[in-house]
Amino acid sequence: MEALHTNVTVTSGQKAKLTCIFSSTNHELSLSSSHQLIWIRQSYATHNGDSILAHNQDLLITDYRLNIQRTDTEYSLTITNINIDDEGIYTCEVNSQPPQKAFVHLYVQVLYFDRIPLWGNFIITISVGLIIGLSVIIFVKTCLKQTFKVK
């Protein structure tokens, strides 16, 4: 067993798919086999220890953002609406002898937003990585004092 990608980087709010692949030499780990699969998470943010997220195709925690998929050759955990608390090391494990494990490091990029007042009540919101174009229009108010002579 191996991870499809050992490092996955996702922007907050996006979706991440963590996948373990069974090699052709280990095809006995198919969906119809008696081997048990689990997803485990060690969080960087909370350091609460290991959390077993899923067993085979059943979620063991209540989180609407998680989805499990299992085929003859893959075991995947999909997380939608990623946030910084999801960052950590995820382990896919099978109860073979000896047990096989694959590790995926999930990194979450957080976008920082800033509100910039331009003039009056007009405010723009920008974030890191956002490409914006601004046009600046300058109004010059001049006071011309003219003197007329009447003949």
Provide the pLDDT for residue 149.
62
Output the average pLDDT for the chain. 76
Dist CA 103 CA 90 (whole Å): 6
Q: Which CATH code fits 2-109?
A: 2.60.40.10
Among 57-61, 63-67, 128-132, which is the least confidently predicted range? 128-132
Higher pLDDT, 83 or 148: 83
Average pLDDT over residues 89-103: 86
Q: Where are the domains of the chain?
A: 2-109
Residue 110's alpha-carbon distances to 14, 26, 52, 114, 131, in angstroms, are 11, 38, 25, 13, 17
Provide the pLDDT for residue 65.
92
Provide the pLDDT for residue 127.
63
Instruction: Indicate if the pLDDT at residue 124 is higher than 80.
Output: no
**0.75 exceeded by pTM:** no
